Amino acid sequence: MSTQRLFKRLYSKTIADYPVYPQVHQQLQPRPAIPKTKSPETKKALELLDSGKNFYATFELKQRPYHAALNDIIITMRMNDLKIGDVIELDRIREIGNESFVLKGNPYILPDYCTLKAVVVEHASAKEIERKHWKKSGLTKYVRNQTHHTILRLSEIKINKD
C-alpha cells in the first residue's frame, strides 16, 4: 500500500465527522484533612510499638523499596547532592515494626508518627565492566560501564508517641 493511500485512510475524516459527546463534569470530593492531633487509638498503637526492641523499617528511596534495621548499610544509586557525613531524614516509610507489632501505611506512614534518619557513609563506584562487542563489519569494540553508588547507614529509628 502506498503512503498516499495510507495517509488518506488515516486522515480522511475531518473533525466535524466525529460524534460529539456531552461532557459530564463530576464534583471532585475533597480529600479528608489529616488530623493535627493523634486519636487515642493511634497513641495506644504507637505506645505498643515503642515498647518493643529491634525495630525495622520498609521505606522508599529514589522510588525503590528498602528493608532495613538500625545501623544497617543501604547501598543505593548515586545521590550527587549529598556529601559524606550528611544526615537525611527518610519520609516515605511504608512499614515500621518490631518483633511483636507492625504499623503499615496506606501507602505511607505519616511523618508525625515516626522518624528515620540515615547518614551518608561513602560514595563508591563499582568495578568497571568491560565487554567486547563485535559488529557485523568485523570491528572489535570495547564497551565500558561503571556504576556509582551512595552508601548510607540507618542511624535512627524513633517512634513519636506525643
Sheet holding 73-77, edge to edge: 73-77, 148-159, 114-125, 87-90
Evaluate if residue 23 carries a pLDDT over 70: no
Between residues 153 and 21, which one has the greater pLDDT?
Answer: 153
Say if residue 157 is exposed, middle or buried (CB neighbours under 10 Å; 0-12, 13-18, 19+): buried
- What the block records as the C-alpha cell of 117 is 534518619
Check if the beta carbon of residue 110 is closer than 8 Å to that of residue 76. Answer: no
pTM summary value = 0.70
Evaluate if residue 58 carries a pLDDT over 90: yes
**pLDDT for the residue 162:** 76
Over the stretch 101-138, which tens digit does the pLDDT of each residue have? Answer: 999 988 899 989 999 999 999 999 988 888 776 666 66
Over the stretch 5-16, which tens digit does the pLDDT of each residue have? Answer: 545 555 555 556
Mean pLDDT (whole number) for 2-26: 58
**pLDDT for the residue 42:** 86
Select from 97, 47, 107 the least CA-distant residue to 67: 97
| DSSP code at position 62 | T
Between residues 1 and 109, which one has the greater pLDDT?
Answer: 109
For the chain, the maximum distance between any two Cα atoms, rounded to a whole number of angstroms, is 75
Residue 7 neighbours by CB under 8 Å, 6+ apart: none
b/e per residue 4-42 (b: at least 16 CB within 10 A): eeeeeeeeeeeeeeeeeeeeeeeeeeeeeeeeeebeeeb
